[in-house]
Amino acid sequence: MQQLERDVDAVLISASAIQDEIRELAGQIAKDYDGRDLTIIGVLSGSIVFLADLIRFLPLRLRIKVISAASYGSGTTSAGEVQVLRGLDFDFGNEDVLIVDDILDTGRTLKRITEEIQRGNPRSIRSCVLLDKAARRVVDIQPDYRAFEIPDEFVVGYGLDFNGYYRNLPYIGKLRQEAILEA
């Protein structure tokens, strides 16, 4: 863990702040879906940590499914094209669906996944993101639930990666420029 932490320039959101906010988000989601079943769609791989913690606080009857999508590759900015690596071949007829993702920046991934889910005829679709990087938005889309809004900086930790690394950091941190250049 020390090697990973040396590559982080600054901790932007602490592990305890993340847990506190997830509890609050879960409370709001539970209130909004009270008495209804919920299907949660986790966007792999970045949402794994967030999704795992979020569902532990949801006192709802729920199902979990996953979709794999990517727009970054090995860079620090979105390539602009969303690849759905594992699609949604599910029928959502009359289900309430909540898309859970690690970060909303350009909006392309959330828009593409929402369109895929709409083909399955759900009763409702909402989205929940850990981080909202609104300054990078190019698609007119907003999350229904978000834990934190962050500035336009490249961040890692708590599920977010650079080149496949740093997902296991318990906080959100800004990666040192030298770590990016050394990759």
DSSP 37-74: -EEEEEEETTTHHHHHHHHHT--S-EEEEEEEEES-TT
- Percentage of the chain beyond pLDDT 90 is 64
Q: Give pLDDT, residue 119.
A: 85
Question: How many other CB atoms sit within 10 Å of the CB of residue 178?
Answer: 11
The pLDDT tens digits for 161-174 are 998 899 999 999 99
Query: Is 105 assigned a catalytic role?
Result: yes
Give me the amino acid identity at 117: I
Beta bridge partners of 125: 97
pLDDT band with cut points at 50, 70 and 90 for residue 71: low
Q: Residue 93: its pLDDT value, please? A: 80
Q: How far apart are CA 133 and CA 108, in angstroms?
A: 13
Active-site annotation holder among 96, 105, 132, 161 = 105
- Look at residue 2 and tell me whether its pLDDT is greater than 70: no
Q: Are 156 and 162 in contact (CB under 8 A)?
A: yes
Which neighbouring-strand residues pair with 124? 96
Residue 172, H or E segment = strand 172-175
User: Using CB atoms within 10 A of its CB, is residue 147 exposed (0-12), middle (13-18) or buried (19+)?
Assistant: buried
- What is the per-residue pLDDT for 68? 84
* Listed ranges 80-84, 90-94, 105-109; the one with the highest mean pLDDT: 105-109
- Show Cβ contacts of residue 165 under 8 Å, excluding neighbours closer than 6 positions: 4, 156
pLDDT score recorded for residue 6: 81
pLDDT of residue 87: 58
In the chain, the domains with their CATH numbers are 16-151 (3.40.50.2020)
Q: Please tell me the predicted confidence (pLDDT) of residue 7.
A: 84
Peptide bond just before 68 cis, omega within 30 deg: no
pLDDT of 81: 58
Structure token pair of residue 27: 């409370």
Q: Which of 22, 85, 89, 31 is nearest to 60 (CA)?
A: 31
Q: pLDDT band at residue 80, thresholds of 50, 70 and 90?
A: low
Average pLDDT, the chain: 88
SS3 14: coil
Helical (H) or strand (E) element with 4: helix 2-6
Q: With 70 as the cut, is the pLDDT of residue 72 above it?
A: no
pLDDT digits (tens, 9 = 90+) for 102-140: 999 999 989 989 988 888 889 999 999 999 999 989 999
